[in-house]
Structure 1
């Protein structure tokens, strides 16, 4: 497919001098060379930037690949020996260049150009411009054509895409913001707030932004009232949860908030985000009016998970907020409260509790209630394991040891291992089965004045301490290390000696 004349008429017929200068001075700024050769003991150079020959005025001769400054144009250059091969001395980039339409004052166009310079013949280097993509943006409409080299034809795309992450993804991408500003001046895109999105990762060439601005006139005032996160989400393909009516004719209809709600949002100084508005609007539909600050404590996943409970959303929300206020450390997000509540209900039913009663279904302290049901389930599941551990305790108890303010003893059950791992934030609870079957021995270290408080956990195999871990798997303190050394000497090494004697 060739470019139809009506589309092509919007674009300039020749490369502008501004574009040539931009590529030379910005895009290929670091691709400037001086090619040197020595004639009768005198070094001569040819600068690829100013395109002039001259004698090198320097005592020490320039070396190949040395960084230097041209003595005529003062341009930073890299020295290249003229006698060496230059088949790989080739530079390229992808440039997105904007222009005003040649036929419509309200339309702007952009050209995606693959630009190259080949220094094989360094005295006849030309900058080559090859169009790989062409964009047209007018109020209410945008269009893109891309060139397929292997078919030698242009194709019209259904959606605007960036070639900087497509065909040109392995080339450096360049865009001149001065060029964009000059292009949009005196067009409907002049106040589109494109400047706010020029550094958006993966969207630096602005083609997605101008496609969005062409389609929705609300982009300008959404940015100006602080709703930038919604536009960023729209540009990058993230969810906006249907919170914005992009075709709304008034601000209130676009953001689905009244003037008083918008004033309240500004007063509360929370950052407007799609997730925040989704939570606020959903709760409002279910009859619960909350502040934006309160909605900010919730999250989109909370709403989605809470709805799946098939319980009144307003009641569940109030309950979750109450539980979060009770234990900020346990619940970093309100969605985790819903997960805990669902798990608690399942465990409660398995234990035969009557979850139709409100005080059981919605316990005053969910964290404590969930810990209790989890422990009871653990006991129920681990009856066989605990019976095996119980049989091992008498033989292991002989190696209990006390010195100073510490003592060590064998773990008494899988529940103790479960609680130990939870208190110290490590994985000893997973060792219960191995411990019960005698594959390893698990001991706990306690302070004498706090015998029921987890402190350090010890694994022993073949009369040797394999590991001794404290909170979050921390290493032994000096006191604990000295204690373990004394324990090994008194109990484990003596045990080994006794075995040797009896043998």
Structure 2
């Protein structure tokens, strides 16, 4: 929004200034019904004070702290509290969800989460129920404005994307939540949402359903057709395989297929709950691909192959291979490779993984991908060959980077007394250093070549080929000095490193390079 403050102000204008009386009644008589106490004074002439009716009366019989009792004035069921005991944790809270029409426009639906509290910590007399709105929702069908705003301390409001449970409640799972079901019927009736089928959804789901109704015609169509499980899948963020066109208003168009195909699909895939939606939509996607490609395969055969190759569990791999071939040829080739090398491919899905990796390697190596490359006679052997070539290619690339890096950092070479700094020339030298000293510097070879860090060797001048200590330098600072098995620097080595820093890593030294 161009002016977020003005937008929030326009949303807040839909809500009444005061908490409605029926909501206050809900708080006192239901949400905070257990927040009724009789505080008993000490001494001989003990009195009780009822927090509900605020009457005081004599107490004759002995009472127990938190014992159950009844107020003789208002007949409320209460708990006894000894007035002289501490109350530092005595605050009762609840959250109330209620719905009502906008005070500005009766065709606009508003929903509000209210935080209700009764605080007895400072005084138990004349305690009132306090209210604070923690989240508000505005659903304007005509203007296609559906927005959630959340409130914090100091009456500050901010917009939130989505319509999930407000952050205030997400951090307070212990708090009582009261949903005023009847208010939704009153708040939605007479608005464009009235006949949308919202009653088929749980009340917190309604907050996500109404924006979908305002945005997509398909949502109401699916709900009224008894296919609300598909809408719930969208509400809950389940995978839908891009098989649904939410903008359409005819059932078969929503599923991107003919009436005949949809009828066939529904006969074979019974969706009794949201948990079966994923299977249905995956099979819908399969039918869509089958029709789009005009595949030679029978649809039953295609669905069987999709199942035995576990395509649903790894659609990304399958889609990558599909870029190079048709459905019919893909499964024909994959089945032959599995049967040819069944000892290597324990499961058929492994054929697709190997094939995808092989084609990806071919792209890395910039091989012209033609028919012979896409369908090698022996997929496993072809993949083993590309693995070797990719490794060689990457090793060569890293060697080239390391040589270029050497030219940039060779000024770090340094001698003092019996020790000297050696700058590595190849990645292999860094890997060998890690192996000889039994520490992890070998894993730094690529980062060194890329310039993310700098690895240097400390050598004894008399034994220049023997690994002694390894140094990591980053941003002109020595991060660590490690010897065999991560042994820290000795006093002599540390003295040498301190002098190296003075002569090579100071601003003055860098200017001299």
The verdict on a shared fold, with TM-score over 0.5 as the criterion, is yes
Change (3 A) 1:344 1:242: closer
Question: Is the partner of 2:299 in helix, strand or coil?
Answer: coil
Give 1:246-265 correspondences, 5 Å limit: 246-265=246-265
Deviation at 1:344, TM superposition (A): 11
2:328 to 290, 314, 336: 314
Tell whether the 8 Å contact from 1:276 to 1:295 is kept in structure 2 after alignment: no
The residue number in structure 1 matching 2:44 is 40
Query: Per-residue CA shift, 1:278-316, capped at 9, x if unaligned?
Result: 333234333346259759845534443223233432343
1:86 alignment counterpart: 87
Q: Using a 3 Å threshold, how does the CA distance of structure 1 residues 116 and 158 change in structure 2: closer, same or farther?
A: closer
The TM-score with structure 2 as length reference comes to 0.56
In the other structure, the counterpart of 2:125 is 123
> Does the residue aligned with 1:122 lie in a helix, a strand or coil?
coil
1:277 is the counterpart of 2:284: yes
Q: Which residue of 1 aligns with 2:197?
A: 193
Between stretches 71-80 and 110-119, larger displacement belongs to: 71-80
Shift of 1:19: 0.6
Q: How does 1:166-185 map to 2 (within 5 A)?
A: 166-171=167-172, 172=175, 173-185=177-189
2:317 is aligned with 1:305: yes
Shift of 1:23: 1.6
- For the residues of structure 1 that align with 2:345 and 2:299, how far apart are their CA atoms? 20
> Could you say if the C-alpha distance between residues 48 and 283 of structure 1 is closer, same or farther in structure 2, counting changes exceeding 3 Å?
farther
Question: TM-score with structure 1 length normalisation?
Answer: 0.57
User: CA contact under 8 A between 1:100 and 1:109: conserved in structure 2?
Assistant: yes
Q: Does 1:27 align with 2:31?
A: yes
Q: Deviations over 1:150-184 (max 9, x none)?
A: 6x5444x263444x442443333443222222211
**Structure 1 residues 80-479: aligned runs within 5 Å:** 80-119=81-120, 120-139=122-141, 140-149=144-153, 153-155=156-158, 157=159, 159-162=161-164, 164-171=165-172, 172=175, 173-198=177-202, 204=204, 206-271=206-271, 272-273=277-278, 274-288=281-295, 290=299, 297=307, 299-309=311-321, 310-317=324-331, 335=349, 338-339=352-353, 361=378
Look up the SS of the partner of 2:41 in the other structure. Answer: strand
> How far, CA to CA, are the matches of 2:337 and 2:287 in structure 1?
19
Name the CA distance, whole Å, in 2 between partners of 1:258 and 1:104: 41
**C-alpha deviations, 1:322-375, integer Å up to 9, x for none?**
9999xxxx99997556337768999xxxxxxxx98989659xxxxxx99xx99x
Is the CA contact 1:92–1:114 (under 8 Å) kept in the aligned structure 2? yes
SS of the counterpart of 1:285?
A: helix
Q: Is the 1:99–1:183 contact (alpha carbons within 8 Å) kept by the matching residues of 2? A: yes
Change in Cα spacing, 1:87 to 1:268, as seen in structure 2 (3 Å) is same
Once residues 151 and 267 of structure 2 are traced to their aligned partners in structure 1, the CA distance between those partners, rounded to angstroms, is 51
Q: Report if the CA contact (8 A) 1:65-1:79 is conserved.
A: yes
* Equivalent-residue separation in structure 2 for 1:337 and 1:11 (angstroms): 60
How many residue pairs match? The answer is 352
Q: Distance in 2 between matches of 1:179 and 1:37?
A: 42
Given that 2:221 and 2:249 are in contact with CA atoms closer than 8 Å, whether structure 1 keeps it comes out as no
- Aligned counterparts of 1:357 and 1:252: Cα–Cα separation in 2: 36
Distance 2:219 2:346 in 1: 34
Contact residue 98 and residue 109 of structure 1 kept, 8 A: yes
Partner of 1:97, secondary structure, is strand
Structure-2 change in CA distance of 1:307 and 1:111 (3 Å): closer
| Inter-CA distance 240–56: structure 2 relative to 1 (3 Å threshold) | farther
